[in-house]
Amino acid sequence: MPTVRAASVAIESVGKRFADGPEVLANVTLAAQPGDFVALIGPSGCGKTTLLRLLAGLTLPTHGAVTLDGVVPIEARERLSFIFQEPTLLPWLTAQRNVELPLRLNGEAKNSRHERALELLRLVGLESAAHQFPRQLSGGMKMRVSLARALTRQPGLLLLDEPFGALDELTRNRLNEDLLRVREKTPFTAFFVTHSVSEAVFLSNRIFVLAANPGRIAGEISVSYPYPRTAEWRESADYQRLVARASAMLRQTQNAEGSGTPS
Amino acid sequence: MNASAKKSALWLPPLLAGACIVAIWYAAIAIFNIPTYLLPAPHQVLHALWREQASLFPALLRTGGSALAGFSTAVMGGAVVALALASSRWLKAALYPWVLIIQMVPVVVMVPIFVIWFHAGLPSITAIAFVISFFPILASTTLGLVSTDRGQLELFTVLQASKAQEIFLLRLPSALPYFLSGVKIAATLAPIGAISGEFLAGTTPDSLGYLLLIYRSDPGKMPEVFAIAFVACALGFLFVGGVKLLSWWLLRHWHESERSGE
């Protein structure tokens, strides 16, 4: 897959307010280089999902600008993929046909999209489930199909909105490892929203901690441990230290708000 | 539990219950000495069925035909109008409440109006079956078309799907279970509507409703009246059974309502 190029992302003094509601995001500035894996963590209501939706062009900023390789997201949609909290598979299609969907919407020929879908299902370890329907699949398997579907268009930017939040820890860890393994083969820039500090440390090279009311960047932690990362890294002191540091920063931003833990 | 035991567990209880009902039926007639013109015995009903088959069978076809004609045009019409309602927020807001209200018009009121509009006979009966089937299909399909999952809609937005793709590849298939539940309601109502229409209009000879009109004027023909009930049940069962089969076939892979027998 030589045509793929990881995208660069620029978020410049972005503010967001919905209708007459409170300010969701205020003056957020963040630049991601091609190939960055950015994790966004923070308390509920800190606007991390909104930030992701701004990057997908699903909502527009009230102030400032969001660009993807220099273009506004709505015009760069073919370069980005979004993985939602829910797998959002179409229940009337088999796993394979769900993975094919983006290509089908693009008007791609049947044969080539069949092949591509099978190739991606193989990549996420679900080749044998190609002809099963979503309700026959477990939560983790559904999320794998969703991941395969997101990769069909070879995105330069992958946006993930707490995709593994509903899964048990074991499945979540496995999917984290698979996500990094997939990334070795198809380079993309990633923005990953999560509530789990350990997940953020394992996956990303940059962690942004957000504070709420209004949502803003409270701090950044860089994770310099090189890719490819394997499951064993989780047991190292280095990893534990980073998790502790990120947790501490998260706790401090919440305490600074003075209202304990909003949920 | 093996497969055959599972199957017999399905049909055995209703069969036993049926046998009990027939036993109670006979017992009641014997104990309370109920005359035939009030409650005929099961064998008398069967006998009436046999005796009157020459008029009952053509009537079944005639009534079934009217019901089917009205029902199937309602299925198509309901789906098309629902698509129109769902495609415009304004149109839906303006018309949907009326769809729910018009459903409340009873058949008794429809009959005289339709007889005047479409003349006595087949067309007015078909029109009644149509109207009575149309509104539940329209109401539930419209609801289905506007209840598409938000996440799936956003997925289609991110994937740059066209409006037509969104309708045909997402909105229509997700509305299918709603559509089918509307069709199921319509399938029970259409034969009832047709028979009631025939009975109330009294202008369609050789139909179940018309036969009922004749039988009921003769106190000695109570078994025949029960025979009509039997035939009407069979007709309704055919309609509902057909739709259930179709629904199972369409949704067998993906919908919770049809997930048994896996």
* Structure tokens belonging to residue A119: 């190739």
Domain spans of chain B, in order of start: 47-258
Average pLDDT over residues B25-50: 94
Query: pLDDT > 90: what percent of chain A?
Result: 82
Query: What would the pLDDT profile of A21-47 be if each residue is shown by its tens digit?
Result: 888 999 999 999 999 999 999 988 889
Task: Identify any residues that bridge with A38 across adjacent strands, giving them in sequence order.
Answer: A191, A206
CB pair distance less than 8 Å for A77 and B173:
no
Average pLDDT over residues A11-27: 91
Rounded-to-integer distance, Cα B7 and Cα B261, Å: 10
Question: What is the number of CB-based contacts under 8 A between chain A and chain B?
Answer: 54
Average pLDDT over residues B18-31: 95
pLDDT of residue B57 exceeding 70, the answer is yes
Residue B150: Cβ-neighbour burial (10 angstroms; 0-12, 13-18, 19+): exposed
CB pair distance less than 8 Å for B154 and A134:
no
Contact B141, B78 (CB under 8 A): yes
- Residue B139: which residues within 8 A CB-CB, separation 6 or more? B96, B99, B100, B103, B182
Domain range for A85:
9-257
- Residue A237: which residues within 8 A CB-CB, separation 6 or more? none
pLDDT number for residue A259: 52
CB pair distance less than 8 Å for A88 and B149:
yes
Contact A187, A133 (CB under 8 A): no
The answer to pTM > 0.90 is no
Instruction: Tell which of B156, B157, B158 to mutate to test the A interface (max A CBs under 10 Å).
Output: B158
In a domain, A93, yes or no: yes
pLDDT number for residue B259: 58
pLDDT of residue B252 exceeding 70, the answer is yes
pLDDT number for residue A261: 45
Q: Locate the chain A residue with the closest alpha carbon to B154.
A: A58
**A63 phi, psi to nearest 5 deg:** -130, 160
Q: Which residue has the higher pLDDT, B259 or B140?
A: B140
For chain A, what is the domain count?
A: 1
* Structure tokens belonging to residue B6: 């599972």
Confidence of residue A256 (pLDDT cuts 50, 70, 90): confident
Element of type H or E holding B141 = helix B122-146
pLDDT number for residue A196: 93
Contact B193, B103 (CB under 8 A): no
CATH of B47-258, one of 3.60.10.10, 3.30.1360.200, 1.10.3720.10, 3.40.50.12780: 1.10.3720.10
Give whole-number Cα distances, A246 to A32, A236, B113, B215, B222, in Å: 19, 16, 75, 86, 85
Residue A104's CB is within 10 A of a number of other CB atoms, namely 20
Average pLDDT for chain A: 91
Contact A226, A204 (CB under 8 A): no
pLDDT of residue B42 exceeding 70, the answer is yes
- Quick one: which of A158, A89, A92 has its CA closest to A121? A89
- Look at the alpha carbons of B29, B34, B39, B41 in this order and tell me if their dihedral is positive or negative: positive
| Chain B hits for A108, Cβ within 8 Å | none
In a domain, A97, yes or no: yes
Residue A86's CB is within 10 A of a number of other CB atoms, namely 20
E strand spans, A74-212: 80-83, 157-161, 189-193, 206-211
**A199 phi, psi to nearest 5 deg:** -65, -45
In a domain, A262, yes or no: no
pLDDT number for residue B45: 94
Chain B 201-240, CB below 8 Å of chain A: which residues? none
| Chain A hits for B149, Cβ within 8 Å | 88
In a domain, A57, yes or no: yes
pLDDT of residue B260 exceeding 60, the answer is no
Contact B235, B59 (CB under 8 A): no
In a domain, A1, yes or no: no
- pLDDT-wise least confident of B15-24, B59-68, B115-124: B115-124
Average pLDDT over residues A126-154: 94
pLDDT of residue A260 exceeding 80, the answer is no
Confidence of residue B121 (pLDDT cuts 50, 70, 90): confident
CATH number for the domain that contains residue A232 = 3.40.50.300
CB pair distance less than 8 Å for A105 and B165:
yes
In a domain, A3, yes or no: no
Of B160, B165, B254, the CB nearest to A91: B254
Confidence of residue B52 (pLDDT cuts 50, 70, 90): very high
